[in-house]
Amino acid sequence: MQDNVMPTDGLDSAIVSISGWTDIVSSRQIVMAVVVLAVFLLSAPRGRRGLSWGSFLLLAAAFVPLAVAAIFPASVEKTRVAHIVLRFFVVASLLHSVLLVGAVTLWERCTRPMPKIFLDVLRCCVIALALLIVLWEAGIEAGELLTGSALVTAALGFALKDTLGNVFAGLAIHAEHPFEIGDWIQYDQNTAHIGKVVEINWRATKVITLDEAYVIIPNGQLAQASIRNFTQPEPWSRRSLYVVTPYEISPQHVQSVILAAIRGSFGVLGHPAPSVVTNSFMERGVEHWVRFFTTDFDKRDRVDGMARDRIWYALARHGIDIPVATQAIRLTQFPTASKESPEAVVDRLTECLKQVGLLDSLTPLQLRRLAETNAEHIYGAGEQIIHQDAPGGSMFVIIEGRVEVSIVAGKSGPRSLASLGAGDYFGEMSLMTGASRSATVTALSQTRVFEVSSESFRGILAADPTLIEKIGTSLSIRMAERSEAIVELEQIRNEPSDILQGIRQFFGMQPDRN
By CB atoms closer than 10 A (0-12, 13-18, 19+), residue 484 is exposed
Consecutive H or E run containing 381: none
Residue 25 or residue 114, greater confidence: 114
Backbone dihedral angles phi then psi of residue 341, each to the nearest 5 degrees: -70, 155
Task: Say what the pLDDT of residue 8 is.
Answer: 41
**2 Cα distance to chain centroid:** 79
**Fold category of 177-229 in CATH:** SH3 type barrels. (2.30.30)
- 293: which strand partners? 238
Domain boundaries in the chain?
10-148, 177-229, 237-317, 342-507
- Rounded distance, CA 179 to CA 497, Å? 61
Q: Which residues pair with 216 in a beta bridge?
A: 206
CATH architecture for segment(s) 342-507: Sandwich (2.60)
What single-letter DSSP state applies at residue 382? T
What's the whole-number mean pLDDT along residues 263-267? 92
Structural contact between residues 202 and 165, judged by C-beta atoms closer than 8 angstroms: no
Cα-only R_g, the chain: 39
CA–CA dist 371, 362 (Å, integer): 12
Return the CATH architecture of domain 237-317: 2-Layer Sandwich (3.30)
Kindly tell me if the per-residue pLDDT of 394 is higher than 80. yes
Instruction: Dump pLDDT digits (tens) for 114-129.
Output: 667 677 777 888 888 8
The mean pLDDT value of the chain amounts to: 78
Distance in angstroms (rounded) separating the CA atoms of residues 217 and 200? 10
- pLDDT above 60: residue 460: yes
Q: What are phi and psi of 259, to 5 degrees?
A: -60, -40
Q: What digits encode the pLDDT tens for the residues 289-345?
A: 999 999 998 899 999 999 999 999 999 999 999 998 766 556 655 555 446 788 888
